[in-house]
Amino acid sequence: MKTRYFTKFCGITNIEDAINAQNAGCDAMGFVFAKKSERYIAVDVCLEIIDSISPNILLVALFADNTVQEINNVIEHCNIHVLQFHGSETQEFCQQWQLPYWKAIPMADGVNPIEYSKKYVDAAGYLIDNYGSNKSGGSGSRFNWDNLPKKLDNKWILAGGLNLENIQQAKSLTNIKSFDVSSGIEECPGRKSKTKMINFIKKLND
């Protein structure tokens, strides 16, 4: 039986990219509400995008130490399915909205991902990323995949520096079946490449 993979295209900022991402065959789209990010999106723009795409796409809202009020505003106006936290949020903070949430794990700090995940036992997923110095989200750079535990269940999502050149290596060196990509499918920060999105999905499933 052929392995099934899950792909999230993160940092969607406009309707054209969202439709191209959908047509490329991604399973989820991520919208960044961390204000320091080059891919930050306003709530009203996010809502326009959501109204333009299939209801079958999983919608993920990314936060990094946002306030409760900011998160409430996103949830109130956008039909978000999953909350993704990239900051120093505690388990108690993440679970208060009673929505599924993913917690990012900063591999660049030498953190033991298994031990880190135990602080968020009710998380729906653990996103393994290579954080930048400000820890406000992913760095867009790859970490050493050899540092990953050899046996991880399907709650784990690989991010950080994924692109067309290394996605096949990523799936062969790890047993992870879910992937989160942003800068690796872009023409420039915040603008996706239709061709790169199509080819990323193709290479993942080859």
Identify each DSSP E strand in 130-167 by its residue range: 156-158
3-state secondary structure of 32: strand
**Which pair of tokens denotes residue 16?**
């054209």
- Cα–Cα–Cα angle for 113, 65, 85, nearest 5°? 40
pLDDT, tens only, 4-42: 899 999 999 999 999 999 999 999 999 999 999 999 999
Question: Can you spell out the DSSP letters for 97-117?
Answer: T-S-EEEEEEGGGT--HHHHH
Residue type, 11: G
- Integer-rounded Cα radius of gyration of the chain: 16
Q: What is the pTM of this model?
A: 0.93
Give all domains of the chain, ordered by start, each with its CATH number. Answer: 6-205 (3.20.20.70)
pLDDT, tens only, 167-203: 999 998 888 999 999 999 999 999 999 999 999 999 9
Strand-pair partners of 85 = 63, 103
If 0-12 CB within 10 Å is exposed, 13-18 middle and 19+ buried, where does residue 40 land?
Answer: middle
Locus of tokens 């990010």:
37
